[in-house]
Amino acid sequence: MSRQNQNFPNLTLCAEARYLPLVTQFVEAAATVFGMGGEEALRLHLAAEEIFLYLSSAVCPGKPLEIQCQNGIYYTRVFFRFSVSELNLSGLNITSTVAHDDEADLGEMGLLIAAHSVDHLNITADRYNGICLAVSKEKSYPRFTERLAAPEDLEPFTLRSPNEEEIKRLALRVVDCCPEPFLPDFFEYPGKVVDMVAGGEFEAIAAFNGRRDVVGGILFSPQTEKIIQCFGPYTFLEKGGEAIASRLLEACIGGIARTKALGLLNFSGLPESLQPRFEPLGSLTYYRENAGPEKRHFFFRHLHEDPGFEVWAHGDIEAFLHGEYERLVLAREIRTVADMGETRSGSSIFSAEIHRERLEVLLRPLWPGVDLEANVERHVRFLREDGFLNIFFELDLGVSWHGELIPVLTAQRFLPGILLPFAGHSDLLIFQHHAFES
């Protein structure tokens, strides 16, 4: 899989407040050229303004700063790259609070505004104190719930990559014919699905009947270099769907066979007839208002031999990991992390992926700090008070400091739920908050 679009305009300058008009004009102009609407471009403008002012005043004043914009077709992402020995961007936490009458807190307020202006943020660092702060905003698309006439059960059935109009019909039929509580939101926006495929991050294979009408399909996308996530296969015929689903899955596997991917993940749309071809990863429990809880099931399939990896964890979950790795036949060397009194500094940062319609939040650690325990407790309290019933925390077992969060999470009533092989630097482990269980 290769991206079809590699537009990355760059702006390199010193982190000085006098360059603010240049930065905001650059970001807003790039977003507009990339096809973002006025509201989305303005929100990126606002986020870039607040981040640049904070970097210029408190993080790397006067130091070299590179700003880069990426055209993802259905989103625009802005990267801020700089070097610093110590980082404090705690205002990016969704739980941040600031005193409006305290001048020292105005910068933190700006970061809070920036975090609420974008859809995603991420922070990475290299061993030479190089920092990359990335924020992204997705385009707005119209939602469609048009019902199409049912496709005819007419042979011969063929498989191929769909064109734009066929992708739209595929998305509409998935929503209409394959209702499930965990169907990805993007299927409700057919134009977005078209752009996701056009951007090269997703691929689609569709099945057609003898009249060249869409009778099924599958989407797949690399989550990392080593793991592919697939959605489906979905089929829309009353009879014969199992055979079409099997062909779609085999076409998907054939399409990624020559890549470096070691496995295939499925979180949505896997027919019961195909589940025996996968390893069950388990399930997470989703709570709903005025309804009983519902299980979401996760599946994994090996594509190539597992070369083995090193993972970092805490003794609290070592037995759980040994059991899962043995069950899934994954070769892992578990390294134990422990607090041995080393000095900590700075404030930790968590990102929050919010799905309000499902009352769901997925937290991810972006930056370590001395306040991990307080920050987890603050996030849980804030989200529960805001009505979120499903709070998850994702740790990357390939990042050693993530292991330090394990005893903090278990103390806050988080329990390990799903292990996702190869989905991060190594494997991802999803914890779930269990406030409703005794």
| Tokens 């904070």, residue located | 54
Do both 414 and 336 map to the same domain?
yes
- Average pLDDT value for residue range 199-228: 96
Are residue 136 and residue 4 in the same domain, yes or no? Answer: yes
Most confident stretch, 73-87, 171-185, 391-405? 391-405
Q: Give residue 328's domain range.
A: 316-437
Same domain, residue pair 116 and 162 = no
327 with 296, same domain? no
Taking residues 405-430, report their average pLDDT: 97
Q: Is pLDDT of 153 > 80?
A: yes
CB within 8 A of 193, min separation 6: which ones? 167, 168, 170, 171, 186, 187, 202, 204, 219
Tens digit of each residue's pLDDT (9 = 90 or more) over 342-387: 667 788 999 888 888 889 999 999 999 999 999 999 999 999 998 9
The model's pLDDT over 244-299, given as tens digits with 9 standing for 90+, comes to 999 999 999 999 988 899 999 999 999 999 999 999 999 999 998 888 899 999 99
Facing residues of 349 across strands?
A: 367
Is residue 151 in a domain?
no
Question: Residue 148 domain-assigned?
Answer: no
CA–CA separation, 255 and 278 (whole Å): 18
| 238 and 336 assigned to the same domain | no
Do 194 and 292 lie in a common domain? yes
* Average pLDDT of the segment spanning 58-76: 95
The mean pLDDT of the chain is 91
Per-residue model confidence (pLDDT) at position 436: 61
Q: What pLDDT sits at residue 389?
A: 95
- pLDDT one-digit tens code per residue, 307-329: 899 999 999 999 999 999 999 99
Q: Are residues 190 and 245 in the same domain?
A: yes
Domain count for the chain: 3
Pick the last residue of a domain from 111, 140, 169. 140
What is the reported pTM? 0.89
CA–CA gap between residue 421 and residue 427 (Å, rounded): 5
The predicted pLDDT at position 438 comes to 43
Same domain, 21 and 125: yes
Q: Is 285 exposed, middle or buried (0-12, 13-18, 19+ CB in 10 A)?
A: middle
Mean pLDDT of 4-20: 87
Pairing of strands 390-396, 428-433: antiparallel
Span 42-57, pLDDT tens digits = 999 999 999 999 999 9
Which of 140, 175, 202 represents a domain boundary (last residue)? Answer: 140
Classify residue 307: in a domain, yes or no: no
With the C-alpha atoms ordered 369, 375, 376, 379, is the resulting torsion angle positive or negative?
negative
Query: What integer pLDDT is reported at residue 108 of this predicted model?
Result: 65
Q: Is the pLDDT of residue 399 over 90?
A: yes
Q: What is the CATH number of the domain that holds 344?
A: 3.40.630.30
Residue 275 is predicted with a pLDDT of 97
Whether 286 is covered by a domain: the verdict is yes
* pLDDT at site 175: 93
* 111, 53: one domain: yes
Q: Is 187 part of a structural domain of the chain?
A: yes
181 falls within a domain: yes
Give the pLDDT confidence score for residue 100 in this predicted structure. 47
Find the CATH number of the domain harbouring 73.
Answer: 3.30.565.10
Residue that wins the pLDDT comparison between 178 and 190 = 190
Average pLDDT over residues 411-431: 97
SS3 content of the chain, % helix, strand, coil (to 5): 35, 30, 35
Q: Is the pLDDT reported for residue 209 higher than 80?
A: yes
| 310 found inside a domain | no
pLDDT at residue number 401:
94
Residue that terminates a domain, selected from 279, 302, 325: 302
339-358: b or e for each residue (b if 16 or more CB lie within 10 Å)? eeeeeeeebbbbbbebeeeb
Does the pLDDT value for residue 129 go beyond 90?
Answer: no
Asked whether residue 373 falls in the same domain as residue 266, the answer is no
Which of 190, 203, 181, 193 lies closest to 148 in space, CA to CA? Answer: 190
Q: Who wins on pLDDT, 438 or 217?
A: 217
Q: Is the pLDDT of residue 102 over 80?
A: no
Please check whether residues 371 and 429 belong to one and the same domain.
yes
- In this structure, the answer to whether residues 19 and 106 fall within a common structural domain is yes
Q: Tell whether 146 is covered by a domain.
A: no
